[in-house]
Amino acid sequence: MQRKGPVNVRFTSAVERRLAAFVATHPGLSLSSATNRLVDESLRMGEHPGVMFREGPGGRRAGLIGGPDVWEVVRAVRSARAAEPELSEDAVVDVVATNADLPGRLVHVAVQYWATYPEEIDAEIDAADHAEEQAEQAWLRTRTLLGRP
């Protein structure tokens, strides 16, 4: 049964102060939206131990504790799979883990997070691909304008 509408929650004074401070440092968030975000992230971290959330230029995103963002690992897995389609699952994980200097366990954590939230991670990969393409085009235009091959 999915409940819609408001849910009454009581916070301790200390949690309420920290939540208010979080909202104050995140313009555009209401107390309700901040609470929803933080509860959702906490539940996701419980579902996927090894994942945490961090701020960045593209907004808040899932990352590996002590490692890169989840989207970066998933993109590397796709790249390794595309480059060497005959590799076993373990071999793909080993390639990515070695290249990213990560334990294989964290590669699995990233892949499992993506499997649960594919739209979110795929959108981050698409945004990164687009930003890289735009940067390359700008670089090429600059080189062309300045007469460099």
pLDDT at 63: 97
Q: Is the pLDDT of residue 12 over 80?
A: yes
Q: Is 6 within the bounds of a domain? A: no
- The range of the structural domain enclosing residue 81 comes to 49-131
The reported pTM is 0.85
Q: Are 114 and 121 in contact (CB under 8 A)?
A: yes
Q: Is 2 within the bounds of a domain? A: no
Claim to verify: residue 121 and residue 64 sit in the same structural domain: yes
* Tens digits of residue pLDDT in 26-80: 888 999 999 999 999 999 999 999 999 998 887 889 999 999 999 999 999 999 9
Claim to verify: residue 83 and residue 61 sit in the same structural domain: yes
Q: Is 149 within the bounds of a domain? A: no
Claim to verify: residue 32 and residue 100 sit in the same structural domain: no
The whole-number average pLDDT for the span 79-83 is 96
Q: Are 76 and 96 in contact (CB under 8 A)?
A: yes
Claim to verify: residue 121 and residue 56 sit in the same structural domain: yes
How would DSSP label each residue in 50-80? TEEEE--TT-SEEEETTS-BHHHHHHHHHHH
The whole-number average pLDDT for the span 130-146 is 91
Claim to verify: residue 119 and residue 54 sit in the same structural domain: yes
The C-alpha angle 74, 140, 142, rounded to 5 degrees, equals 130
Claim to verify: residue 62 and residue 25 sit in the same structural domain: no
Claim to verify: residue 15 and residue 35 sit in the same structural domain: yes
Q: Is 57 within the bounds of a domain? A: yes
Claim to verify: residue 60 and residue 109 sit in the same structural domain: yes
Claim to verify: residue 57 and residue 112 sit in the same structural domain: yes
d(CA 116, CA 33): 22
pLDDT at 56: 84
Q: Is the pLDDT of residue 2 over 70?
A: no
Q: Are 79 and 56 in contact (CB under 8 A)?
A: no
Distances (CA, A) of 137 to 36, 49, 64, 71, 78: 39, 39, 31, 23, 24
Q: Is 137 within the bounds of a domain? A: no
